[in-house]
Structure 1
Amino acid sequence: MTKPFMTTGLSRRAVLAGILGGVAVPALAARPAAADAATVAGAAEPYVPIAVGVGGGPAGSDRVHVLKVGPDTAHTVLVLVPGMFGAANDFRLLARDLVAQLPGVQVWAFDRREENLADRSGFVTADPAAYYLDVHYRSLDPAAAAFAGDWGLARTLSDLRTVVLAAAGGGRRRVVLGGHSWGATTALAYAAWDFDGSPGYDGLSGLVLVDGGVRGAFAGNGEPVENSPEQVKERLAAIDGGAVFDLTLSAVGLGSRAENTQIWYQLAGWYAHRDPGGPSVLQPRMPDALRPPVPVTNAGLLGVLVDAGFGWPNDISVHSGHLADSGDVRGWVDTGITPISRVATAYAGGPEPAVWEWYWPARLSVDLDVADAYADTDLTRSLGLRLSHSAGLDVPLFVFQTSYAQGTIESAAREVVADSRVPYAVYETDNGMNHLDPLFAAPEHNTLTASLPAFLTGLR
């Protein structure tokens, strides 16, 4: 196996320094025709737009989307929220595996309104690498996106409220709300949120937290939340100064714009999905510091980008395999729990929905850090975070943790349970998984899809 050669030491917050970039474009380009047409065509897994409140963005941005997997006749809808930089296609494979076991469950994967800002039209062309890497795509300049400075947790939860109510179908269906990583944090915040006098947990039948949460859930990864009043003041000032997008992923080294890393990863998935054994289209164009030292296939390059064996940190990697030990062009050898073909299927998109969100609002990062306290405080109130119902939380909880946070996902969830009216909680751990493995692992090796069905079927 080739020795690691890529940058190590990345973390969820340790690389917040980045360079703002982009090209100003005043309005959204047309969404590819295939994106919303799936609903009209009656596709088995439609990607459905849902109108939401006015948010001040470009025309076409006042809507969210859900990817629906499973029968519309299902009596239970599991609404899943992706984590930081995540998008709906994070959950497609997981959803398929769940509904195969649970015919009475439909999964709705939630895409935040920020997804409307991305130009994914290049993925319906014959040469998406040229479209994106030669910068023919529509890039959003932060200077033209002051509206995103207000897209924080309040905006996300207002949008999510519309989705949850739609999923409930006027009370005809049970709704279970969950998420991965900061998506789990979002789900808990929703449950404690005050919606015009009503707690968010009213109308929910359960909560599903996958490797995320509040009350120090991420403490085990060594990255404390940045939520002191002084830190918050500084971060808000930066947003007011124009730093409206979170640039954490710029530290990967694939570009300084908010969307560069996400584009590279989706391109890697696109080529690995369509021609896994062909010589890598992207390798010659990669930055020198990240380019594999031997020729690799399209699948091999994707493996290099996502496999834990190449030095990537836990939160952006899976256990997949390794490059072939020999050959003029090294292919990928699956030896782990997450086959590279499943990662490619998810990352390739269709072109929509996608796995990666291009433009993550910096305000949403601030709010989710502050929401970690999971209490109604002076600081939360000053930010408009209405977390006043955490003590009344009275729905069952399912908690799944990997090796990512070294046990603090569960210990933090136990604090939530102890300080609320949660009737019971189920805790599952698989330390053989990295943070992204539960989303893409093969069903026979996925402890999440093996354990979650029992919780869902046991809900009343």
Structure 2
Amino acid sequence: MLGLAAAVGTAAATPSLLTAAPAGATHRPWCEEYTSLGGGLHPVHVLRVGAPAARQVLVLVAGQFGAAGSLRMLARELAGRLPGTQVWAVDRRETNLADLSGLRGNDPDRAADRYLAGRYRSVSAASAPYVAGWGLATALTDLRRVVRAARAGGRRVVLGGHSWGATTALAYAAWDFAGRPGYRDLTGLVLIDGGVHDAFAGEGDVYRVTPEQARAGLADIAAGTVFDPSLTMGRTETYAILQLLAGRYAVAAPDAPSTLAGRLPAPLRPPGPVSNAGLLRSEYVDAPLVPDLSVNPAYTSIATVARTLAAARPGAFEWYWPQRLTLDLSAADPFARTATTDLLGLRLCHPTAIDVPLYSFQTGLTHGTANAAARWVVAHSRISSASYDGDDAMTHLDALWADRNPMLRTLVPFLRRLEP
């Protein structure tokens, strides 16, 4: 189970960019700003998109290995249609670990020569042992900083996410923050192709972490498995770097023969010569690494994939995903207090008390289990208003990257109803 999404260009680390709003936007001014919310040595960053004066903020969390840039296209589409809503896409603290110093300028050859030769700062368990403790409690503490900032001035906050980002949003709602349930900070929940309680069962992912398995997982982390190895191709960060490079080549010269293709690891290498755009088509349409990492060209163009991947700050992918976060999110899936959650210190104390409106959208990835799981959450809580939608022809990434996104037909009205 992996979750990701869209981006265009690279924004500077903190300045505000007042730009033209996308087609379909109904208001001005249009603000797009990537900024830090603080946090000492490990700050949290957000990409803010839309009208600064909006009285409602939709905070979005990307899924596994996904970063804030993956949510940029969806953020623009939503903010452009909702004058009263600004969208904040969250970059978790681990995005600070990526060495982006070799990505200045627009020369993909120069960047490729540097990164493929390993001439950058690579982070490991030895150099960053503190990441061993970056689990769900850390992620939610950071997310609460974002939510509190979004609530400043009396604004309403809707919390949502994609894939495991949806799981994170529900965990926040159920979490006990020193006696205060997380859902009290929110006026709504948005689940995009993810959630809890077997939301991913339709793609074959069922999470039942026993206390014994949790102890074994903690032991592995203590022994050095600090980063999730799911996408490791030589180094933990290699996959994310290769996608960024592939995007930059396809943006710079889509029809030129790909010089990157022959330098890829075998699982990503196309069967024959391809163009730069053809390499992305091979990876995301013809032979995706896993179903999560694919697009349906009827919804998402290769040009959009290229622009999404080419961004560096914020980027589409996290380079380093904490293994402790994988363990904790897997253990949180039953969405109840269990012996395993107690062992891991997961404060999921209030799932049955959640009482804010919920929206759920599913693609063909989960074959119906994402919405079924959302209905279970509603049935086992105090949620009295819920909306469900889906499109089985869409992929997991289409929900975020689509040039033509059917989800907007129902998500926009849901969010509009919540606006003050």
TM over 0.5: yes
Match of 1:285 in 2: 263
Question: What amino acid does structure 2 have at the position aligned with 1:342?
Answer: T
Distance 1:387 1:410, change over 3 A: same
Match of 1:396 in 2: 357
What CA deviation, in whole Å up to 9, does each residue of 1:391-410 have, x standing for no partner? 11000000000011111111
Corresponding residue to 2:320 among 330, 334, 359: 359
Whole-Å Cα distance in 1 between the matches of residues 210 and 131 of structure 2? 23
Match of 1:4 in 2: none
SS in structure 1 of the partner of residue 123 of structure 2 = coil
Structure 1: runs of 5+ lacking an equivalent: 1-10, 14-32, 55-59, 321-335
Distance 1:433 1:42, change over 3 A: closer
Q: What is the deviation of 1:107?
A: 0.5
Match of 1:315 in 2: 292
**After the TM superposition, which of the residue ranges 190-199 and 297-306 deviates more from structure 2?**
297-306
What CA deviation, in whole Å up to 9, does each residue of 1:21-44 have, x standing for no partner? xxxxxxxxxxxx9632423x6673
Indicate conservation of the 8 Å contact 2:49/2:75, yes or no: yes
SS in structure 2 of the partner of residue 96 of structure 1 = helix
Match of 2:162 in 1: 180
Corresponding residue to 1:212 among 176, 184, 194: 194
Whole-Å Cα distance in 2 between the matches of residues 114 and 77 of structure 1? 23
Q: How does 1:49-448 map to 2 (within 5 A)?
A: 49-52=36-39, 60=41, 62-125=42-105, 126=107, 127-171=110-154, 173-250=155-232, 255-288=233-266, 290-307=268-285, 309-320=286-297, 336-349=298-311, 351-443=312-404, 446-448=405-407
Residues 1:38 and 2:15 are matched in the alignment? yes
Q: What is the deviation of 1:447?
A: 1.4
Indicate conservation of the 8 Å contact 1:394/1:422, yes or no: yes
Q: What is the deviation of 1:273?
A: 1.6
Percent identity of equivalent pairs = 51
Q: What is the deviation of 1:369?
A: 0.5
Match of 2:28 in 1: none
SS in structure 2 of the partner of residue 168 of structure 1 = helix
Match of 2:35 in 1: 48
Whole-Å Cα distance in 1 between the matches of residues 18 and 99 of structure 2? 24
Q: What is the deviation of 1:337?
A: 1.2
Q: What is the deviation of 1:378?
A: 2.6
Q: What is the deviation of 1:226?
A: 4.8
What CA deviation, in whole Å up to 9, does each residue of 1:31-83 have, x standing for no partner? xx9632423x667311110112x6xxxxx4x2010001101011111000000
What CA deviation, in whole Å up to 9, does each residue of 1:394-438 have, x standing for no partner? 000000000111111111111110110001110001000111111
Indicate conservation of the 8 Å contact 2:162/2:192, yes or no: yes
Residues 1:458 and 2:417 are matched in the alignment? yes
Indicate conservation of the 8 Å contact 2:254/2:275, yes or no: yes
Question: What amino acid does structure 1 have at the position aligned with 2:13?
Answer: D
Question: What amino acid does structure 2 have at the position aligned with 1:340?
Answer: I
SS in structure 2 of the partner of residue 45 of structure 1 = strand
Match of 2:7 in 1: none
SS in structure 2 of the partner of residue 129 of structure 1 = helix
Indicate conservation of the 8 Å contact 2:15/2:33, yes or no: yes
Structure 2: runs of 5+ lacking an equivalent: 4-9, 20-30
TM superposition outliers: structure 1 runs of 4+ over 6 Å: none
Indicate conservation of the 8 Å contact 1:12/1:223, yes or no: no
Question: What amino acid does structure 1 have at the position aligned with 2:408?
Answer: T
When the two structures are aligned, how many residues end up with a matched partner? 399
Whole-Å Cα distance in 2 between the matches of residues 68 and 420 of structure 1? 31
Q: What is the deviation of 1:302?
A: 1.4
Indicate conservation of the 8 Å contact 2:198/2:205, yes or no: no
Indicate conservation of the 8 Å contact 2:55/2:84, yes or no: yes
